[in-house]
Amino acid sequence: MRYLESIMEQVVRRNPNEPEFHQAVKEVLESLEPVARMNPQWLQAGIFDRLVEPERQIIFRVPWVDDNGKVQVNRGFRVQFNSAIGPYKGGLRFHPSVNLGIIKFLGFEQIFKNSLTGLPMGGGKGGSDFDPKGKSDGEIMRFCQSFMFELARHIGENTDVPAGDIGVGSREIGYMYGMYRKIRNEFTGVLTGKGLDWGGSLVRTEATGYGLCYFMDEAMTAIKGRSFKGSTVVISGSGNVAIYAAQKASELGGKVVALSDSNGYIHDPDGINLDTVKRIKEIERKRIMEYIAYHPNATYTEGCMGIWNIKCEIALPCATQNELDENAAKTLVANGCFAVGEGANMPSTPEAVELFLKEGVVFGPAKAANAGGVATSGLEMSQNSIRYSWSFEEVNAKLRSIMIGIYRNASEAAKEYGMENNLVAGANIAGFMKVANAMYAQGITY
In the bound state with ligand NDP, the residue whose beta carbon lies nearer, of 76 and 211, is: 211
C-alpha span between 42 and 35 (Å, rounded): 10
Quick check: helix, strand or coil at residue 400?
helix
**Which among 89, 113, 125, 194 is annotated as catalytic?**
125
Residue type, 283: I
Give the nearest distance from C-beta 384 to ligand 2IT in angstroms.
13
How many CA atoms, within 13 angstroms, populate the side-chain half-sphere of residue 143? Answer: 28
Phi–psi pair at 58, nearest 5 degrees: -115, 130
Please report whether residue 102 would count as binding ligand NDP according to CB under 6 A.
no
Spell out the alpha helix ranges (H) of 152-252: 170-184, 204-224, 240-251
Give the nearest distance from C-beta 220 to ligand NDP in angstroms.
20
What is the largest distance, in Å, between two alpha-carbon atoms of the chain? 64
Give the nearest distance from C-beta 201 to ligand 2IT in angstroms.
10
Q: Please classify residue 40 by burial: count the beta carbons closer than 10 Å to its beta carbon, then call 0-12 exposed, 13-18 middle and 19+ buried.
A: exposed
- How distant, in Å, are the alpha carbons of 34, 63, 434 from that of 167? 38, 18, 31
Phi–psi pair at 245, nearest 5 degrees: -70, -45
192 binds, among ligand NDP, ligand 2IT, none (CB under 5 to 8 A by kind): ligand 2IT
Site for ligand 2IT in 99-128 (CB under 6 A): 113
Please report whether residue 380 would count as binding ligand NDP according to CB under 6 A.
no
Residue type, 321: Q
User: Which listed residue (80, 208, 227, 231) binds ligand NDP by CB under 6 A?
Assistant: 208
User: Which listed residue (20, 165, 206, 218) binds ligand 2IT by CB under 6 A?
Assistant: 165
Please report whether residue 200 would count as binding ligand 2IT according to CB under 6 A.
no
Write b or e for each residue in 233-250: b if 16 or more Cβ atoms lie within 10 A of its Cβ, otherwise e: bbbbbbbbbbbbbbbbbb
- Going by the DSSP 8-state scheme, the letter that residue 421 receives in this structure is T
Among 18-26, 89-97, 300-308, 330-338, the segment contacting ligand 2IT (CB under 6 A): 89-97
Beta bridge partners of 259: 266
Q: Does the annotation count 398 as an active-site position?
A: no
User: Which listed residue (89, 95, 104, 400) binds ligand 2IT by CB under 6 A?
Assistant: 89
In the bound state with ligand 2IT, the residue whose beta carbon lies nearer, of 377 and 421, is: 377
Among 14-22, 28-36, 53-61, 235-243, the segment contacting ligand NDP (CB under 6 A): 235-243
Beta-strand ranges (E) seen in 261-312 are 264-267, 299-302
| Residue nearest ligand NDP, CB atom distance | 239
Site for ligand NDP in 286-345 (CB under 6 A): 304, 318-320, 323, 343-345
Spell out the alpha helix ranges (H) of 321-391: 326-334, 350-358, 366-369, 372-385
Please report whether residue 374 would count as binding ligand 2IT according to CB under 6 A.
yes
User: Which listed residue (76, 122, 126, 167) binds ligand NDP by CB under 6 A?
Assistant: 167
Please report whether residue 23 would count as binding ligand NDP according to CB under 6 A.
no
# of chain residues touching ligand 2IT (CB under 6 A) = 11
Among 18-26, 63-71, 258-266, 325-333, the segment contacting ligand NDP (CB under 6 A): 258-266
In the bound state with ligand 2IT, the residue whose beta carbon lies nearer, of 86 and 91, is: 91
C-alpha span between 42 and 39 (Å, rounded): 6
Q: Residue 171's closest CA among 285, 272, 263, 255?
A: 285
Between β-strands 264-267 and 299-302, what pairing exists: parallel, antiparallel or unpaired?
antiparallel
C-alpha span between 325 and 308 (Å, rounded): 10
C-alpha span between 48 and 11 (Å, rounded): 11
227 binds, among ligand 2IT, ligand NDP, none (CB under 5 to 8 A by kind): none
235 binds, among ligand NDP, ligand 2IT, none (CB under 5 to 8 A by kind): none
Give the nearest distance from C-beta 378 to ligand 2IT in angstroms.
8
Give the nearest distance from C-beta 44 to ligand NDP in angstroms.
35
User: Which listed residue (128, 247, 377, 421) binds ligand 2IT by CB under 6 A?
Assistant: 377
In the bound state with ligand NDP, the residue whose beta carbon lies nearer, of 35 and 200, is: 200
Beta bridge partners of 317: 236
Q: What angle do CA 120, 440, 371 make, to 5 degrees?
A: 30
In the bound state with ligand NDP, the residue whose beta carbon lies nearer, of 164 and 364, is: 164
Which are the catalytic amino acids? 125
Interface residue list for ligand NDP (CB under 6 A): 95, 97, 164-167, 208, 237-242, 261-263, 304, 318-320, 323, 343-345, 370, 373
